[in-house]
Each structure stands twice: as C-alpha cells, then as structure tokens.
C-alpha cells in the first residue's frame, strides 16, 4: 500500500509541477479522440476525415477554453449530418439549441461532462460519469451528463437508420425522415431510463459523500454503482434486453474500479486516527470531528558520492 | 523594495480579473433591476424561439394526423391550448431566469466589493510610498523641469 501512496504523491507532484503543460495536452488528447470517434462513426462528409482537419481542431482546443471542444464537436456532427440529409441536420441543430437554452445558458458548465459522456457510452462505461459528477461537482451537473446521454442515443439512432435517412428528399420522404429522427428521441425508452438513472445516481453519490460518516466516499461509490445496476438491470429485464446484461455487469465493475481510483487520488482519509474534540466560545458549543489525510512522505533521494565530493 | 502584502493583493486582483473579470463586468455596469430586465428580455426571446422550434417539430411530426383532420379541427380551441402552454413555458423560463440571475448578480457584486476593498488597500500602499521612492520621484521631477 505504501508503494501506491508513493505513486500518488509522485503523480500529484508531477501534475502540480507541469499543470500548465498537461492541461492543454489533455484537452488536445480528449479533443482528438472525440473528433476521431465522430469521424469514424459518422463519416458522411469525407472531406472532414483528414489529418489537417484533426490537427486544426485539436490545436484550437488547446488554445481556446474547454467549451470549444463541445462547440467544435457539435459543428463537426452537424456537418456530417448535413451530408447525410439536411433535414436531419436541422432537427439535430434544433435539439442542440434547446439543450443550450434549457441548461447551458444558466450554468457555468464548460461541457466537459457532456463531451465525455458519449465517449464513455462507446467504451461501455457510462456508469462512471454519475460517480465522478457526484464526487467532484454539484448534483445539477447530472443535467450535463443527461445532455450527453441524449446526444449519444439520438446519434446512435440516426446511425442505425442511415439507409432510410440518406434517401433523396421528396415530399413524402421528408416527413418519413422527421418521424424516424423524432422517434429516436421520443420513443427511446432505454434513453429515458438512463437519464433517470444518471440523475438518481449523481444525487445519491453527492448526498452520501457529504455525510459526516466514516468512509463516506466509499459508501457513496458503492451505493452509486448499486443504484445504477439495479435500475438499469430492472429496465433491461422489463423490456427483455438480455443481451446487454453482461456489458452492464462489466461496465459497473470497471466504473467501480475507476471510481475507487478517483477516491484514492482525491479523498483518502485515515479513519483510524480520527479525533473528536469539543470546545465552546461565547455563542456556540462545537463538536468537531477531524479525520487526517493519508499523506506519504517521499523519502529524499540518496546522494551518491562522486569523485568531486571525495576531493 | 517589494512589499509582500501589496503584491499579494495585486495578485488576487489579477487572478480575479482573468478568471471572473468578464463574468462580473455586467454587475459593474448595471443596477440589479436593469441587469435582471436585460436577462429577462433575452430569456423571452430564447423561450419564444425554443417554443416556436418545438411547435414546428410537433407540427411536422403530427403532419399526417393534422392533414387528415384539417377540415374538422377547432382552430380557436387549438390556438387557446397552444397559447396557454406558451404562457406556462414562458412563465417557468422567466422565473428560472430571475432566480438564477438574481443569485449570480448578488454573488458577482459581493466579489466586486471585495476587489474594490483590495484596490483601496493597494492605493493606500502607493500613498504610503517609502521615502526613498518619494525622493527618487522628486529628483525625476526636478530633472524634467530642468530639461524644459
């Protein structure tokens, strides 16, 4: 365990030392990953699948604020969908606009969780997002994950129906296309289940990790995972989607591991050394519980003797 | 000579300026009522656009049904229904805007007041410049006068 603490201290030191370099590099990596996935999944406009485009978008993500990743990703998706069908592009733009006026206008959210959520879905670990939001942000950030969830299911629905949507537009096909696109949003029960799960899990993680109990973060992590598992499993069993149960189990276990990693790096306390003190001033009586953090003192590097020292 | 306290205040002000300077700019410019009125007007436009968008989507989605009932439709009743839902949406959106931006204004104003306090302290530091600085400023002034 000491070795792990040492690695953590080294990581924290490394990140704080090179933060100004690491942050743009992380933005670049996330941006490039997101743009690559978008191009790989919705490569309807072939001109966008070029190294120059990737580089230009990635570099601009480094320089601009974090919200640029979301804006550029949205632009890229709209361009691809325009190549598929202008009707689909307009409907998607409408959906994004509604998301903006309902949520993003009122918050100082940088869209980080929204852009990461579809990626997490693609990898099969969307259950880690509510845990992360509950750990580090306020419960309203679950709306950001809900937006990401809606975008993911909506775009997946479009991708599955691309043959219908790619047909040349005529008076009848336009209406049929609108029906297909709108049904991805209105008739997708799994999406609504995931949205409700995200909100419930984020709120439960947030509430439990703020409780003044021992191992609050660990309990919050387990309960967050359990809430998601029970809700999603009951949904799958109810609708008879047996194929996805195995991916749910694996996803929950991987999310638990990632959640434990987050807890380890950001909130690791030594409950064995908890101290309880009581004191008073003129107005109040204080009951204080102080739990020390686990800090590992990195041993100083041994100085090797050189010839110069001997002299 | 570097005055640590002055540098600390100036650093705090610089950090505030880069992180939240733009966000707090409207709180400096407007009174609370004007700020809220501006946001509510914006919200009115956004909500109207959003509702229009939803209405168009709904019309296109229900196009077949609407076309089948185009002769038998009670337009006055439908109009009243749409108007009512528009008013409900608008009221909810404006209430949300009022709540969110009131809190934001109060918080921003508090931060600005803190910054003004820092600024006053920094000004005081400049007034209490140490004698060596004052001397150098004096000699500089004399030099300028001689040049003239």
Highest mean pLDDT among A31-40, A269-278, B64-73: A31-40
Percent of chain A with pLDDT over 70: 93
> Of A227, A146, A138, A136, which is closest to residue A191 (Cα–Cα)?
A146
Least trusted range by pLDDT, from A129-143, A218-232, A274-288, B79-93: A274-288
At B38, the pLDDT band (50, 70, 90 cuts) reads very high
Test A182 with B54 for CB contact under 8 angstroms.
no
Which residues does residue A279 pair with via DSSP β-bridges, in sequence order?
A286
Helix (H, G, I), strand (E, B) or coil at A288: strand
Test A182 with B49 for CB contact under 8 angstroms.
no
The string of pLDDT tens digits covering residues A167-207 is 766 666 778 888 888 887 788 888 999 999 999 999 999 99
At B34, the pLDDT band (50, 70, 90 cuts) reads very high
Distance CA B70, CA B67 (A): 5
Which residues of A touch chain B, with CB atoms under 8 Å apart?
91, 94, 97-98, 101-102, 105-106, 108, 175, 178-179, 182
When pLDDT is averaged across residues B69-79 and rounded to a whole number, the result is 86
List of chain A residues whose C-beta atoms are within 8 Å of the C-beta of residue B96: 106
On whether the CB atoms of residues B124 and B5 are closer than 8 A, the answer is: no
Test B100 with A101 for CB contact under 8 angstroms.
no
The two structure tokens encoding residue A197 = 């799960």
Q: Could you give the residue ranges of the DSSP H alpha helices within chain A?
A: 2-17, 19-41, 51-63, 67-84, 86-99, 112-123, 128-136, 142-160, 162-165, 171-186, 189-209, 216-239, 245-266, 307-310
- Checking if the pLDDT of B147 tops 70, the result is no
Q: Is the pTM of this model over 0.90?
A: no
**Is the reported ipTM for this assembly greater than 0.90?**
no
- Checking if the pLDDT of A6 tops 70, the result is yes
At A298, the pLDDT band (50, 70, 90 cuts) reads low
Nearest-Cα distance to chain B for A131, in Å, is 26
- Check CB contact of B142 with chain A, cutoff 8 Å: no
Nearest-Cα distance to chain A for B103, in Å, is 11
Work out the angle between the directed axes of helices A2-17 and A19-41 (0-180°, nearest 10): 90
The shortest CB-CB distance from A179 to any of B50, B61, B96 is to B61
The string of pLDDT tens digits covering residues A248-294 is 999 999 999 999 999 988 887 888 888 888 888 888 888 888 888 87
């Amino acid at each position: 365990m000491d070795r792990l603490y040492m690695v953590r201290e080294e990581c924290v030191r490394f990140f704080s030392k090179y933060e100004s370099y690491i942050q743009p590099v992380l933005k670049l990596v996330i941006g490039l990953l997101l743009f690559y996935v978008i191009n790989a999944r919705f490569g309807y406009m072939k001109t966008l699948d070029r190294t120059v485009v990737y580089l230009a978008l990635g570099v601009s993500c480094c320089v601009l604020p974090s919200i640029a990743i979301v804006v550029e990703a949205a632009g890229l998706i709209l361009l691809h969908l325009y190549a598929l069908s202008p009707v689909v592009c307009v409907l998607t733009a409408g959906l994004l606009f509604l998301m903006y006026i309902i949520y993003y206008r009122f918050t100082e959210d940088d869209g980080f969780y929204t852009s990461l959520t579809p990626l997490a879905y693609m990898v099969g670990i969307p259950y880690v997002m509510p845990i992360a939001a509950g750990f580090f942000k306020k419960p309203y950030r679950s709306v950001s994950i809900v937006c990401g969830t809606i975008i993911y299911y909506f775009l997946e629905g479009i991708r599955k129906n691309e043959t219908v949507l790619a047909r040349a537009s005529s008076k009848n096909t336009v209406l049929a296309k609108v029906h297909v696109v709108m049904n991805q949003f209105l008739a997708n029960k799994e999406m609504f289940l995931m949205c409700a799960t995200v909100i419930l899990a984020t709120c439960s993680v947030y509430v439990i990790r703020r409780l003044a109990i021992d191992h609050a973060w660990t309990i919050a992590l387990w309960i967050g995972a359990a809430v998601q598992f029970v809700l999603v499993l009951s949904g799958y069993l109810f609708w008879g989607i047996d194929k996805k149960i195995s991916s749910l189990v694996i996803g929950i276990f991987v999310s638990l591991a990632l959640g434990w990693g987050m807890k380890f790096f950001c909130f690791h306390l030594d409950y064995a050394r908890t101290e309880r003190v009581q004191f008073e001033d003129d107005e109040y009586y204080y009951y204080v519980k102080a739990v020390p953090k686990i800090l590992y003192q990195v041993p100083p590097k041994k100085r090797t003797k050189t010839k110069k020292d001997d002299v | 000579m570097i005055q640590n306290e002055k540098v600390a205040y100036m650093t705090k002000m610089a950090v505030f300026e880069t992180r939240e300077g733009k966000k707090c700019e409207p709180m400096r410019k407007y009174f609370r009522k004007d700020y809220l009125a501006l946001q509510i007007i914006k919200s009115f436009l956004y909500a109207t656009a959003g509702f229009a968008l939803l209405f168009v989507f709904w019309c296109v989605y229900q196009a077949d049904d609407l076309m089948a009932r185009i002769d038998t439709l009670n337009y006055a009743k439908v109009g009243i229904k749409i108007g009512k839902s528009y008013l409900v949406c608008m009221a909810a959106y404006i209430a949300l805007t009022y709540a969110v931006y009131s809190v934001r204004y109060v918080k921003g104003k508090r931060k600005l007041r803190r910054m003004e306090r820092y600024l006053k302290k920094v000004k005081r530091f400049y007034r209490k410049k140490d004698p060596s600085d004052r001397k150098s400023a004096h000699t500089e002034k004399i030099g300028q006068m001689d040049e003239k």
